[in-house]
Chains A and B, each alone.
Chain A
Amino acid sequence: MNRRHFFQSVGVAAATVAAGSALPLVAQTQSTTGSTTRKALFNGSPRMTPLRGFAGQDVSCERAAIEGKVPEALRGVFYRNGPGLFERGIGANKQRYSHWFDGDGLVHAWRFTDKGVSHQARFVQSKKFLAEQAANAFLAPSFGSAFKAKMPVRNSDDLNTANTNVYKLGDRLLAMWEGGSATEMDPVTLETKGIVAWTPELKHMPFSAHPKIDPDGTFWNFGTLMGKMVLYHLSAKGDLIKHAVFDAPSGGMVHDFAVTHKHLVFLLPPIGIDYAAMRNGAAFGQALTWKGNESTKVFIVDRNDFSKRRILEMPAFMVFHFGNAWEANNVIHVDFVQSKDLNIMSDWMPRMMRGETVAPDASNPAFVTIDLNRGTCAVNMRDENCEFPRVDPRFVGLRNRNVYYPVGTGAREEGWGFGGVMRIDTDSGKVDRFNFAEDVALEEHVIVPKPGSTREGDGWLVGVGFDVAAQQSFATVFDALNLAAGPQALVRLPYWTPVCFHGHFHAA
Chain B
Amino acid sequence: MKTTSTLAALAATCILMSVPAANANAADLNVEIKGSGDKGNVMVALYKQTDKWMRMASGGSQMLPAKKDGVAVTFKDLPEGEYAVSLFVDENGNGKLDSNAIGIPIEPYAFSNDASGAFGPPTFEQSKFVVSKDAKTVVINIK
What is the CB-to-nearest-CB distance from B9 to chain A, in angstroms, rounded to a whole number?
A: 16
- Per-residue interface assignment for chain B, residues 65 to 107, with 1 indicating a CB less than 8 Å from any chain A CB and 0 otherwise: 0000000000000000000000000000000001011101110
The residues of B that contact A230 with a CB separation of less than 8 Å are 101-102
From B1, B102, B118, B143, A149 is in contact (CB under 8 Å) with B118
From B1, B114, B117, A226 is in contact (CB under 8 Å) with B1
Any chain B CB within 8 A of the CB of A202? yes
- Per-residue interface assignment for chain A, residues 199 to 216, with 1 indicating a CB less than 8 Å from any chain B CB and 0 otherwise: 011111100000000000
The residues of B that contact A156 with a CB separation of less than 8 Å are 104, 119
Contact: B102 with A245, CB < 8 Å? yes
Contact: A204 with B116, CB < 8 Å? no
With CB as the reference atom, state the residue of chain B lying closest to A229.
B102
The residues of B that contact A202 with a CB separation of less than 8 Å are 100-101
- Per-residue interface assignment for chain A, residues 145 to 160, with 1 indicating a CB less than 8 Å from any chain B CB and 0 otherwise: 0000101111110000
Which has the most chain A C-beta neighbours within 10 Å: B101, B104, B117, B119?
B101
- Per-residue interface assignment for chain A, residues 129 to 161, with 1 indicating a CB less than 8 Å from any chain B CB and 0 otherwise: 000000000000100000001011111100000
If A152-B143, A226-B1, A226-B4 touch, whether A205 touches B101 (CB-CB below 8 Å) is yes
Any chain B CB within 8 A of the CB of A225? yes
The residues of A that contact B117 with a CB separation of less than 8 Å are 153
What is the CB-to-nearest-CB distance from A395 to chain B, in angstroms, rounded to a whole number?
A: 33
Any chain A CB within 8 A of the CB of B109? yes
Contact: B104 with A155, CB < 8 Å? yes
What is the CB-to-nearest-CB distance from A214 to chain B, in angstroms, rounded to a whole number?
A: 24
The residues of A that contact B1 with a CB separation of less than 8 Å are 226-227, 275
Number of interface residues of B (CB under 8 A): 16
Contact: B106 with A203, CB < 8 Å? yes
The binding surface of chain A is classed by DSSP as: loop
C-alpha gap A286/B42 in the complex (Å) = 39
- Per-residue interface assignment for chain B, residues 1 to 41, with 1 indicating a CB less than 8 Å from any chain A CB and 0 otherwise: 10010000000000000000000000000000000000000
With CB as the reference atom, state the residue of chain A lying closest to B4.
A226
Contact: B101 with A228, CB < 8 Å? yes
The residues of B that contact A205 with a CB separation of less than 8 Å are 100-102
Contact: A201 with B4, CB < 8 Å? no
C-alpha gap A467/B63 in the complex (Å) = 62
C-alpha gap A227/B4 in the complex (Å) = 12
The residues of B that contact A153 with a CB separation of less than 8 Å are 116-119
The residues of B that contact A141 with a CB separation of less than 8 Å are 118
- Per-residue interface assignment for chain A, residues 218 to 234, with 1 indicating a CB less than 8 Å from any chain B CB and 0 otherwise: 00000001111010000
The binding surface of chain B is classed by DSSP as: loop
Number of interface residues of A (CB under 8 A): 22
C-alpha gap A153/B100 in the complex (Å) = 16
Contact: A201 with B100, CB < 8 Å? yes
The residues of B that contact A227 with a CB separation of less than 8 Å are 1
C-alpha gap A141/B100 in the complex (Å) = 22
What is the CB-to-nearest-CB distance from A361 to chain B, in angstroms, rounded to a whole number?
A: 30
From B104, B114, B118, A204 is in contact (CB under 8 Å) with B104
The residues of B that contact A200 with a CB separation of less than 8 Å are 98, 100, 106
From A149, A245, A275, B101 is in contact (CB under 8 Å) with A245
What is the CB-to-nearest-CB distance from B107 to chain A, in angstroms, rounded to a whole number?
A: 10
C-alpha gap A476/B117 in the complex (Å) = 46
C-alpha gap A174/B104 in the complex (Å) = 22
Which has the most chain A C-beta neighbours within 10 Å: B1, B105, B118?
B118
C-alpha gap A156/B119 in the complex (Å) = 8
The residues of B that contact A151 with a CB separation of less than 8 Å are 116, 143
From B98, B114, B116, A154 is in contact (CB under 8 Å) with B116
The residues of B that contact A228 with a CB separation of less than 8 Å are 101-102
The residues of A that contact B101 with a CB separation of less than 8 Å are 201-202, 205, 228, 230, 245
The residues of A that contact B118 with a CB separation of less than 8 Å are 141, 149, 153
C-alpha gap A202/B101 in the complex (Å) = 6
With CB as the reference atom, state the residue of chain B lying closest to A245.
B101
The residues of B that contact A275 with a CB separation of less than 8 Å are 1
Contact: A203 with B100, CB < 8 Å? yes
The residues of A that contact B106 with a CB separation of less than 8 Å are 155, 197, 200, 203-204
C-alpha gap A226/B120 in the complex (Å) = 12
What is the CB-to-nearest-CB distance from B92 to chain A, in angstroms, rounded to a whole number?
A: 8
With CB as the reference atom, state the residue of chain A lying closest to B7.
A154
Contact: B105 with A155, CB < 8 Å? yes
What is the CB-to-nearest-CB distance from B2 to chain A, in angstroms, rounded to a whole number?
A: 9
- Per-residue interface assignment for chain B, residues 103 to 143, with 1 indicating a CB less than 8 Å from any chain A CB and 0 otherwise: 01110010000101111000000000000000000000001
C-alpha gap A261/B97 in the complex (Å) = 40
What is the CB-to-nearest-CB distance from A375 to chain B, in angstroms, rounded to a whole number?
A: 30
The residues of B that contact A155 with a CB separation of less than 8 Å are 100, 104-106, 119
Contact: A204 with B4, CB < 8 Å? no
What is the CB-to-nearest-CB distance from B75 to chain A, in angstroms, rounded to a whole number?
A: 24
The residues of A that contact B109 with a CB separation of less than 8 Å are 154
What is the CB-to-nearest-CB distance from B139 to chain A, in angstroms, rounded to a whole number?
A: 16
C-alpha gap A210/B107 in the complex (Å) = 28
With CB as the reference atom, state the residue of chain A lying closest to B143.
A152
C-alpha gap A141/B102 in the complex (Å) = 21
The residues of B that contact A197 with a CB separation of less than 8 Å are 106
With CB as the reference atom, state the residue of chain A lying closest to B92.
A200
Which has the most chain B C-beta neighbours within 10 Å: A149, A152, A200, A275?
A152
Query: What would 16 A/B residue contacts be, using CB atoms closer than 8 Å?
Result: A149-B116, A151-B143, A152-B114, A152-B116, A153-B117, A153-B119, A154-B104, A154-B119, A155-B106, A155-B119, A197-B106, A203-B106, A204-B104, A205-B102, A226-B1, A226-B102
Taking Cβ atoms with an 8 Å cutoff, the residues of B that contact A are: 1, 4, 98, 100-102, 104-106, 109, 114, 116-119, 143
Closest 6 CB pairs of A and B: A152-B116, A245-B101, A203-B106, A228-B102, A155-B104, A201-B101
Known contacts A200-B100, A204-B104, then 12 further A-B pairs from the complex at CB < 8 Å, ordered by chain A residue = A149-B118, A152-B143, A154-B116, A155-B106, A156-B104, A202-B100, A203-B100, A204-B106, A205-B102, A226-B1, A226-B119, A275-B1
